[in-house]
Amino acid sequence: MSDRLLIITQKVDENDDLLGFFISWIREFAKHYQHVTVIALGVGNALLPDNVIVYSLGKERGTPRWQRWLGLMDLLRKEVKNHDAVFAHMSPIFAIAAWPFTRVWHKKLVLWYLHRSSTLRLRLALRLVDTLVTADANSLTIRSPKIVAVGHGIDVARFAVPDRTPPDGRPLHILSVGRISRIKGFETLIRAAALLRDRDVDCEVRIIGRTIMPKDRRYGRELHALVTRLGVGDIVHFYGFVPYRDTPAHYRWADVVVGCTPPGGIDKTLLEAMAAGCIPLTSNTVMRGLFGADADRLLFRHNDAEALAGIIEDLDDYATLSSVMQQNVDTQTTERVVSSICRYLI
C-alpha cells in the first residue's frame, strides 16, 4: 500500500446522476493508499472510508468561480508537497493547475479524461502530465504515447441482478439513460417504439436523463412533441433526473438498454446495463469489442429506427445473452481500473 494520494475532481456526491459513480472510485483508491485527500468543486452526500479527507471549494454553497479557483490554488500549494502523487479527474484544467506544484515537488501527475473533443486545455494538459488514462483509446480524438487505456471502472456489484427473469408474458422493458441532448439520439428509440407497436410487439420504454443547456431543453421539447405525433405516449415515458443511487432499480426493471449515440467512446451506461444482465443495443460501434461474438446482433446503424426495431423484434434467448454480457463486463470493474491507474501514479 502506498502512502498518500491527492485527487482533484468536480463533485463528490453519491446522488449525482453524472458523477455519483466516482464515489466507488474513491473508495477503491482508499484501499491502495494509507491516506487519500480529495479536492472537489462541490460536495454532497458521500459515505467514505476513514482514511479519506474531502475538501470542498464551495460550489454547492454558490461560491463564485474566482473564489473556487483561488481556493484550489491555495489547497494545491499546501497539499501537493505532502502527497506522493496527484490524480486529476476529467477536467484538464485541474491537471494544468496542479502541474507547477507537482513540478516543484517532483510528484507524479496523472489525468483521467474521456471525451471526444480535443480542446486547447486538453492538449496543454497532455504535455504537462506524466500519463493520461482513459477508458478506451477511441474515446479520444488525440494520440500520444502518454495515453493509456485502462477500461471504464464499473461498480459491478452495485448493479448485479442475480434473480433476473426473461420477459415472458409481459411487455418488453426498454430503457435508455443519458443527458437529454441531441447527440444521444433519443428520437431513434422513440421512432423504433412506434414501429414495434405497429408490429404488435408489446413493449414499454423509459428514458432517464435531464436537460442542462438551453439547447438541450429545446431538444427535450422536440422529443415530447415526437411522442405525441407518433401516438406512443402510453408506452414511452420520460423520468427526468434520477439520482445515481436509484439507477440500479431501473436496470433491474429493464430487459434491454438502448444507446443511440454515434461511434465514439465506450458508453458507461451500457456497461452498467451489462453488469445488471440487461441486453445492450447501440449504434456506437466502439462497443463491438465488449460485445464479443454477439456484436452483430446488438449493433444497429446510427439514426436507423428501422434497424433498431428489427433487432429488438428478433431478440430471443434472453437468459443466455444476459449471462454472456455479465461475463464480458468483468474487464471493466472499478477494482481493475483503479488498480491499473495506481500503477501510473507510482
Q: Domain extents for the chain?
A: 2-149, 158-331
The predicted pLDDT at position 238 comes to 97
H helix or E strand, kind and range, residue 127:
helix 120-128
pLDDT along the chain (346 residues), means of 10: 90 89 95 97 94 96 96 97 96 97 97 84 96 85 91 89 87 96 96 97 96 94 97 96 92 96 85 95 90 94 97 92 90 91 95
The pair phi, psi for residue 308, each rounded to 5°, is -65, -45
Cα(262)–Cα(241) distance, rounded to whole angstroms? 23
Distance CA 256, CA 170 (A): 14
pLDDT value, residue 163? 84
Spatial separation of the C-alpha atoms in residues 179 and 142, rounded to whole Å: 24
Q: What CATH homologous superfamily does 2-149 map to?
A: Glycogen Phosphorylase B; (3.40.50.2000)
Residue 262 is classified by DSSP as P
Quick check: do 2-149 and 158-331 share a fold?
yes
On whether the 158-331 domain is CATH 1.10.3470.10, my answer is no
Give the C-alpha separation, 257 to 245, whole Å.
Answer: 18
Question: How far apart are alpha carbons 70 and 58 in whole angstroms?
Answer: 11
**CA–CA separation, 127 vs 321, rounded Å?**
43
Residue 286 confidence (pLDDT)? 84
CB atoms under 10 Å from CB of 317, counted, come to: 10
Give the Cα separation of 27 and 189 in Å (integer): 36
pTM, 2 dp: 0.86
Spatial contact of 86 and 6, defined as CB atoms under 8 Å apart: yes
For residue 152, give the nearest of 295, 45, 275, 282 by alpha carbon.
Answer: 275
